[in-house]
Amino acid sequence: MIALLLAASVAINTSHIKIPERYRGDAVVMTWYTTPETIAKVCGGNAVRACLIERDGMKMMLVRNPCYRADIEQQAEDECHEKGHFLGWSKEHEK
């Protein structure tokens, strides 16, 4: 499954980036809560905390499993960021 999902991954390491207001709305997003190791494999790099991938028109975000994460504010930021991409925010934002 991981190999199939690699093609359209979008990676982030972007805690300082302000997500535009128009991409902060409600959404229903399929989410894979997983380990940093799986995120690194699927999203493409050890520095990546989360990503949104697309396969056959289906989008899914990968984020850390919050049950094993102490920095919960970072969790919220990661999910807000990837939800922004789900809602159409370009992956070509500032780095």
Q: How far is the CB of 14 from Zn ion (least distance, A)?
A: 5
What is the amino acid identity at position 25?
Answer: G
12 binds Zn ion (CB under 5 A): yes
* Dist CA 93 CA 57 (whole Å): 22
Closest to Zn ion by CB, 12 or 48: 12
Site string for Zn ion, 39-68 (x = CB under 5 A): ------------------------------
Closest CA relative to residue 68, chosen from 95, 92, 44, 36: 36
For the record, the structure tokens of 47 come out as 């520095």
Q: Which stretch binds Zn ion (CB under 5 A): 7-15, 22-30, 31-39, 59-67?
A: 7-15
